[in-house]
Copies of this chain bind each other. A is one copy, B any other.
Amino acid sequence: MFELAVELIDETPALAIDWAVVSRNVAAMAALASERGVALRPHVKTHKLIPLAQLQVACGAVGVTVAKLNEAEAMAAGGISDVLVAYPVVGSSKLRRLLDLAASGINLAVALDSAPAALDLAIAARARSLVVPVLIEIDTGLRRCGVQSAAEALELARLADDQHGTSFAGIATHEGHAYATSGAEGLRQATEDAAGAMREVAQALEDAGLPAKTVSMGSSGTARFGIGLEGTTEFRPGTYVFNDRTQVALGAAAREECAAAIVATVVSRAVPGQAVIDAGSKVLTSDRMLVANPRPTFGELADDPDCEVVRMSEEHGILGGGAVERLAVGDRVAVLPNHICPVVNLFDSVRVLRAGNVERWPVDARGSV
């Protein structure tokens, strides 16, 4: 894996993307959603790349999901015409940017979970003669965002629907808590339970005369169990385009389906039993594995999984285990990270391996606002 990247990339640390693997991952998820009759709306927070979003849409995605307005703006600039902002848009400056996008003619919806967020959005949209579709976020167990009951969902849906400026479009959840369960069976059960909770809310809304046109859930780790569960209309996986150690540990991806690796250089062998590479926490991030019983390591070599990043400083990754003794100062290695999403967000550009060449692509939506 990544032999070509290790050979061709001129400077390290670099983030290498194997486009053949990406293409297969994108096609496989699109096929699964198509087979099971569910709309696919991938989350682009993982890759933040316009061309990759375009590929996802070309393969059948109905649109994309974003967390931040800079992601939405980049996607719109790239011609993506249907965007769900799966994050409450709060504050006048952010609302202005959101409505600028809505006014540009793309289909734009927002997920939120509070009356203040819904009302401020409605007031701002009304002032510009716009109507923004709203999804009510439901907490199905992650305990992050999301209303806590069907009654709360109904109250907020009614509020959104009653206001000029917003319309009630459906409900959404992210079943990320399933990652912390034990094994495939725990993951499957948590995913099914989340879908069940969504069905209950949808039923209550329908009974009240406010049917949820969209019932949206999704994550890459739960995709194989969650895509097409009864009552859901849409699925929003993100990480599956690249995968990482966490997705492999979850059983959601084979190791060969990891499409992104950090290419690094061995800079020191002075301390016995270890090698130091030029990829530390400012490259790999300090994210632990998002699964039960995480091993506190921060990466593994693509061609030697037993050789792991056992410690880090900001610019130093300490490799230990496996065949670490074979490494010499100046050697290049490819590292699979625990969690690829925040790694992409650290790079201004990625190096895309395609047809035997390396191309440099900007990370179009890097950053935090």
Contacts and interface: CB of A to CB of B under 8 A. Distances in A.
A341 to B, nearest CB: 6
A91 B271 contact: no
A276 interface: yes
Interface in A5-32: 10-14
The interface residues of chain A, by DSSP majority, are classed as: loop
A11 B282 contact: no
A82 B315 CA distance: 21
Given A87-B267, A88-B268, A287-B286, A145 B342 contact: no
Contacts of A274: 143
Contacts of A266: 90
B345 A270 contact: no
A68 interface: yes
A182 interface: no
Contacts of A357: none
Given A11-B94, A94-B11, A329-B116, A148 B342 contact: no
A146 B270 CA distance: 6
A276 B176 CA distance: 16
Interface residues of A, number: 65
Given A88-B268, A90-B267, A368 B282 contact: yes
Contact of A285 (B143, B285, B341): B285
Contacts of A282: 341-342, 345, 368
A198 to B, nearest CB: 16
Contact of A286 (B68, B270, B278, B285): B285
Interface in A268-295: 268-272, 274, 276, 278, 281-283, 285-288
A324 to B, nearest CB: 14
A113 B368 contact: no
A114 B269 contact: yes
Contacts of A90: 265-267, 278, 329-330
Contacts of A269: 114
A139 interface: yes
A359 interface: no
A94 B315 CA distance: 15
Contact of A120 (B45, B114, B330): B330
Contacts of A348: 367
B270 A145 contact: yes
Contact of A13 (B11, B285, B369): B369
Given A11-B91, A91-B330, A313-B176, A368 B342 contact: no
Given A67-B315, A117-B268, 6 more contacts: A90-B278, A91-B330, A144-B318, A145-B270, A285-B285, A346-B346
Interface of A: 10-14, 45, 67-68, 87-88, 90-91, 93-94, 113-114, 116-117, 120, 137, 139, 143-148, 152, 176, 265-272, 274, 276, 278, 281-283, 285-288, 311, 313-316, 318, 328-330, 341-342, 345-348, 367-369
11 contacts: A67-B315, A87-B267, A87-B315, A88-B267, A91-B330, A139-B271, A143-B318, A145-B276, A148-B271, A176-B313, A314-B345
